[in-house]
Structure 1
């Protein structure tokens, strides 16, 4: 398998949009290492010494922000459909096409609710539960992380 320049750009954009700080892998004779926090030491090399951090001036303690809450899934008895992989989420099979599902649609376990694209490979996302689509939590074309909620479904009673 060979990596094209476009493949490498795609990998780097995924790393940039993810919560990962760095990635390192090898495909054939191509080795790729990328880091958001700067160059990584080569294998076997001693890490460079970092300067001591400069202490920041003391500030008055700010009140803690309100804790982030999960989408209202637990409160309303809704089920979250989560991303099984990281990549770019699409709600329709192609730009301008009718979405796979919209709010109010009935779905079953095998209904495709979206696709996630990684390096030009498109992966169908299934509802995995029968019910009614309540809300899509992710914009079309947005990057999603593994396990991120993408859709809320009200299960059948």
Structure 2
């Protein structure tokens, strides 16, 4: 059986990796972690993952195991108010694997730069996979605060491409 800290470490590790689904069994319990990635997701300190621990047959004592905060850990009031004051950032993530291009053709101006205002229809980049070029639009209104990929770089499904401060 997993300790609470082991579960949290596994969830954090899977959340930072490109793996979308993780399944593990140690003979007493099964662990299933499935990421919930959309093409746009709110940027958070902890990845949006769901975990379930299911007891194996004959091991009912493991039924109550759930990932949770370490014993005695209570978030401070100052942390809660700081989170409320900080605007949520939105990631535009790669909807497929492919090569990221910041402009329509080599030598041309990039679609967007840091500080540019975008609308939901605004094309922000192109992904190329197997000679098929897919235009990626912002899907939100806001300001580009970070470009997380370099032109010509291969990107994975779900990898952040841009970070936007929504309006």
Give the corresponding residue for 1:83.
94
- Per the TM alignment, residue 73 of structure 1 is displaced from its structure 2 partner at its CA by 3.3
Q: How many angstroms apart in 1 are the aligned matches of 2:157 and 2:135?
A: 14
1:73 aligns with 2:43: yes
1:123 and 2:152 equivalent?
no
Higher percent of residues as strand: 2
Shift of 1:141: 0.4
* Counterpart among 99, 105, 108 of residue 97 in structure 1: 108
SS class of match (1:74): coil
Structure 2 matches for 1:34-53, cutoff 5 A? none
Measured after TM superposition, the shift of residue 101 of structure 1 is: 0.2
Task: Give 1 or 2: higher helix fraction.
Answer: 2
After the TM superposition, which parts of structure 1 deviate over 3 Å for at least 4 consecutive aligned residues?
none
Q: Give the TM-score normalised by the residue count of structure 1.
A: 0.52
Larger radius of gyration: 1
Q: How many residues align?
A: 87
The whole-number CA distance in structure 2 between the counterparts of 1:133 and 1:107 is 7
Distance 1:147 1:74 in 2: 14
In the other structure, the counterpart of 2:163 is: 152
Structure 1 position 107 matched with structure 2 position 118: yes
Aligned residue for 2:114, secondary structure, equals: coil
Partner deviation per Cα, 1:64-115 (whole Å, 9 max, x = no partner): xxxxxxxx93365110000011000000001110000001100011110000
How far apart, CA to CA, are the structure 1 residues paired with 2:43 and 2:164? 9
State the superposition RMSD in angstroms: 2.0
Residue number among 154, 159, 166 corresponding to 1:143 in the alignment: 154
Aligned mates of 1:102, 1:74 — CA distance in 2: 23
